Structures are given as structure tokens and as C-alpha cells.
Amino acid sequence: MKLSTTLLLLLFVGALGVFVTQYETTQPTTKERVEALKKPFAFNVTGADTLLLSGQNLELRVTKQNRVWRVVSPYEDRAHPELVNAVLKALGDMEWLETMKRDDWKGADWKRTGLNDASLELTALAGRKELARCKIGGPGSIEGSVYISTLSAKSGQLIHLAKSELGGLPKKTAQDWRDNKLLRVTAANVQRYSLSAGNGILEFTRAQDQPWQLTKPLQTRANDKFVNAVLATLLNLDAKPSTQPVVPPTAASSAAPVMKVTIQTAGAETPLDLIFQPASALDADPLASVSDRPGQFVVPAKVSSLWQLQPNHLRDTKLIHVDENAVTGLRIRSIALPEVVMNREGEIWMLTRRGQTELAHAERIHRLFEGLNAAVIREFTADAPATLEPYGLDQPFLEIEWTESGKPRVLQFGQSTEKAVFAKNKDEPFVYQVSPLMLGAIPPDSLKWRGPGVLNLSTFAIKRIIISEGATAPMTLHYDASFAKWLGEIAGKEVSDQIDRHKADALLEKLANLQAEDWSSDGSSAYQALANPTLTVQILLQDPTNPDAEMKPLNIAFAPTIQGKETAVYYGRVNQDADTFLISRDLYKLLTTTVLKTAQ
């Protein structure tokens, strides 16, 4: 064989191989062919754009326009999207259980199929491409089945026993294909909506991922829950065509004015307009019309509640909203005490007091913002008062200023002559009545904002603890931090071998990190009580790096808040400090409990 012939044969075989490979990849697999026989109408539902229904009493055409299904014949209106999608899905999911030729059906058997001249023909199209065409007959002999007729170019008319959800479709009228909802709008897409009736108007707007704002007739925060509830009422209204003659809105016979609702959605060039006419009689339903569909519709009587809405019904009832994590500064000003100054440094709050900076009470600051965010407006008292004097806000007795995300915000409190408490955001005109109980979380005394730590001592610096309770002999405890060793004496008597080390260690820990329940604003009462303390503790401290350094005493006095009584809290004071504090009864008892193994 010549070389040229061999090369030609090789090229031919190669080309044949490529053709076979490409042909095989374009042909359905055996599994796919079996599936196609079982489900001959399988198609992408989203690709369909037309449905045709033809029967003895029905000629209907439904098309998709700008992603919205509409009935274009025998009337024009928005179609029922759930019904359209259900029919398309049922067509695609239809499964042949058995297939026979038309000639196999005779007499009563044929009549039982329901595939006569009155049967419903259903066609689905994608543009000009036919996706599915069949006639729907009566229910089949197997539960959940229906008789279906199709035409085949080779076999003529075929009759199928099909598993399908289309069995009830022939019973539906043209009106069943009309959208049963007045609107088809997704709540999340609504950016603005308004309700106007007569001279009144309510308008609400929101930016993306932001809460609702009331913009008319006031500009203030709206109540998200209530505004969304009104919107949900509008978007979920059932509607059916009115059989009454179309009545112009101005001719409504009800005493209530016609209501216009405007809804603006994201991406829409023009808003949707709804017109509601109140019921003309007690037993009648309101009528509605909407700009994106023709005709008038009967809507449920619950629409009547829209006429009762007032601005205050939909305003935010929370006094303020604070993002605590974004706050970096806090000031509390009162008419009686110096300004409280606190600033956050990283994650730590610091209090500036008497020219010095110390740890602030972080938990109290958290409770303050928690309380402010929970505070509820009792009454929307005035929206634009000519004077603030009746509310005591011309000279607020208390003012809170905080810096949030770099922006200062101020909340003011005033009191009327009747002792009612009012609040006002400084940069807003509105005056609110609030509960006086919320003021308990805003003490104006800077002492109350000190951190709860009274002492913060190194245990290595503590050398001696002397405890004296009432008239009993004092106990002296010597502590050697290097060996964690305790020695003790009472009235000159050695008791070292009787010391319970665990009890002594617990006492040491509590004293080294002494925590107050609170700081006492009533200094005079505390000073008077502490003039005759029921318990004194002296701690002698020494520089742990210099064993020859002189020991320095630190004296703490305790006394009940009521002389001679066992009280819930006790006063405390360190080294005649100007500030006095309060400790719990449990801590007081721990400090007075003997550290000896047995009572002496």
C-alpha cells in the first residue's frame, strides 16, 4: 500500500473518531432516554413565557411581561402567579404511567377518560417554541392520576395514564386565573409609602437596611414593628373584581374621605398608587383600585382600620437608641453636683474626678445604656412647644451627653410643677413624658461612678493583718509570702498552730482585692457611724523588693448603717478617706469570722 493511501486512511479514521466522540456526547444517555419517556414534558419552568388554555367554556391566554404573568385574553389583568407556576411545574413533573393508542379505547372505556370535545387543551410556550401541549381529561384509575391526550406524528393520538397535579385544572374558570391579591410587592423592596385621606397624610421612608422614619406630618423615628404591620396589611390584601358599576372616587357616599396609598419600591421608575373607597354601608366591603391593573376590586373590611391611624400610633415608643459599643465619652450634668466625666480608653472606662483619673464602674455604665435603650415613652407630650418651661426643660435638672461614633448626643430631663418627668433630645423639638423610675440608673454624683474596687494590693506586700471586732481582743496575723506561711497571736498569746490556712488565705484574698457593693453618697451618716466602728482591720504593707523598708499601715473601719443592728449593708472607710463605701453583710461576716481551727 502506498504511503499516501495509508496517510489518507489514518486521517479518515481520526476524523471518524472525532465525529463519533462528539456525536456520543450530544446524545442522551440510556438513563436520560428512560427519564424522557416517563417525563416527556420536562423543561425549565423559568423559560416559559406563555400559557394557552382552550376548552368548551374557556379560551385563555397568559403571558409573562417584564417578569410578571398577565392574562391578556379574554380580559386584561395580572394573573395569579402561584397558579401559573403550579401549572408549569405540574406540566414539567408529569409522569407517564401507561400509554395506549386512541384505537385501543372503545365505548364506555373511552367515555371514562373524559377526553371528549369538552376537555381542556393546555399549551406552554417559550417564545415560539412549544414546550408542552396536551389535553387534560378526567381522573384515572390510580389515585393521583389523570388521563392525558397527546398527538404524535407517527402514532397519531395517544392516551396516557399520567401521575399529575393537573386533574383539577379543567374545573377552573377564567376568573380563577386572575390574581387574588390586590398587590404583588415584596415588603423588603419598599422604600417609601404614604397614606393620605382628606387633609391628613402619613409618610414613611427608609434607607437600605435602616429602620423606618416618619417623614410626614412629622420628621421623627417610626415604630418599625407597627409600620411593617401596616405595610403587611396593604401587601396581603385579598381582592376580587367588583360587580358594581365603577364609582369615581369623588362620588363615594361614605362620610369618610377617599384614601390614597402610594408605594415606592427599589428600582421602580414610578410608584404604585392605590385608591380605597370606604364602605358605603355597614354590611358592605370597601372598594379599591390600583395603578398597575384595570378595574375596581372588593377588599376585606379590615382596610377600614387604616382611616383610624394617627401619627402617634406609628411613632417609635423607645426614648432613644444607643449603640453602646460605639460610645467613647459620657458626661452627666445636674444642677446640684459637679459634672461627671467618663471616657473609654480601648475597652476600659475611666472616670476623671478631683483632677485624677481612675477606673470607672463599667457595669454601672452598661446598665445605664441598657436602661436608656429600654426606656419607653409614656406620652408624646408636645411636638413643637412654644416654650419648654411647663416641662422644666428650659433649665433641665439632669442632662446626659454621650459621644457615639464621633457625634455628640444630648438627652435632657425636666420636671413639671406636678412632678411629672419629661425628656427631650436636645437636637429635636419633641417633648416626651417618661417614667421617673428610669432616673435611678443615672446618679448625678461622680462618686457613684467609681469602680467597685476599694483595694488592689499585692499579697507579697502584705506583712501583717490586725483584726479588732468590738471589745474582743485583737488578732494579729503575720504573713510570709515567700513560704505562704501564717503566724498569729491574740492578746500576746501564740495561736500559730491553730490557724486554718485556707481561712486565712481567703481573708487575705478578700482584703487584698476588697470590692464595694456601692459608694455611699450620704457621707455625713457614714462618718457618724464610722466614728464608733464595730470592726477595724489594719494592714501593714512593705515594699516586697526591700525587706528593710519601713512598714506602712493601712486602716479600714466598718460599721452597720443602723447603730446596734445587723444591717443588709455596712459602711466602710480607708485611712480617713473622704469617700465611704458599702459592703454586703456576707462580706462583713467573712471578715469577722475567726481564722482559727477551733473557736477561742
User: pLDDT exceeding 70 applies to what percent of the chain?
Assistant: 91
> What does the pLDDT average to over 465-475?
93
The one-letter amino acid code at 321 reads H
pLDDT band at 281 (very low <50, low <70, confident <90, very high): low
Q: SS3 for 56-112, per residue?
A: CCEEEEEEEECCEEEEEECCCEEECHHHHHHHHHHHHHCEEEEEEEHHHCCHHHHHH
Name, in order, each residue with C-beta under 8 angstroms of 340's C-beta and a sequence gap of 6 or more: 330, 331, 332, 333, 351, 444, 445, 446, 449
Q: How far is CA 94 from the centre of its chain?
A: 42
DSSP state of 119: S
- Give, in degrees to the nearest 5, the angle at Cα 470 between 592 and 560: 70
Residue 391 vs residue 14, higher pLDDT: 391
pLDDT band at 20 (very low <50, low <70, confident <90, very high): very low
User: pLDDT exceeding 90 applies to what percent of the chain?
Assistant: 75
pLDDT in tens, 550-563: 999 999 999 999 99
* C-alpha–C-alpha distance, residues 305 and 295, integer Å: 23
* C-alpha–C-alpha distance, residues 253 and 277, integer Å: 9
Name, in order, each residue with C-beta under 8 angstroms of 516's C-beta and a sequence gap of 6 or more: 452, 453, 454, 572, 581, 582, 583
pLDDT of amino acid 27:
47
pTM for the predicted model, two decimal places: 0.77
pLDDT band at 292 (very low <50, low <70, confident <90, very high): very high
Cell 467597685 belongs to which residue?
Answer: 452
Element at 479 (helix H, strand E): strand 475-480
Task: With beta carbons less than 8 A apart as the criterion, state whether 554 and 574 touch.
Answer: yes
> What does the pLDDT average to over 117-131?
92
Q: Is the confidence at residue 175, as pLDDT, over 90?
A: yes
Question: The C-alpha cell of 394 is what?
Answer: 428650659
Domain ranges in the chain?
3-32, 39-162, 187-314, 324-449, 462-592
Tell me how many helices (H) and strands (E) the chain has: 9, 36
Least confident of 303-312, 369-378, 406-415: 303-312
Q: Respond yes or no on whether the N-terminal peptide bond of residue 286 is cis (omega within 30° of 0).
A: no
DSSP state of 508: H
pLDDT of amino acid 244:
73
* C-alpha–C-alpha distance, residues 405 and 391, integer Å: 30
* C-alpha–C-alpha distance, residues 205 and 194, integer Å: 9
Residue 23 vs residue 71, higher pLDDT: 71
Q: Is the confidence at residue 254, as pLDDT, over 60?
A: no
pLDDT in tens, 524-539: 999 999 999 999 999 9
pLDDT band at 30 (very low <50, low <70, confident <90, very high): very low
* C-alpha–C-alpha distance, residues 480 and 463, integer Å: 7
pLDDT band at 243 (very low <50, low <70, confident <90, very high): confident
Beta-carbon count within 10 A of 336 CB: 8
> What does the pLDDT average to over 459-486?
93
Least confident of 109-113, 200-204, 220-224: 109-113
Specify the length of the chain in residues: 600
Closest CA to 38 of 84, 81, 92: 92
Classify 349 as helix, strand or coil.
strand
* C-alpha–C-alpha distance, residues 245 and 424, integer Å: 53
Element at 524 (helix H, strand E): helix 523-530
**Which CATH number is 324-449 given?**
3.30.1490
> What does the pLDDT average to over 56-71?
93
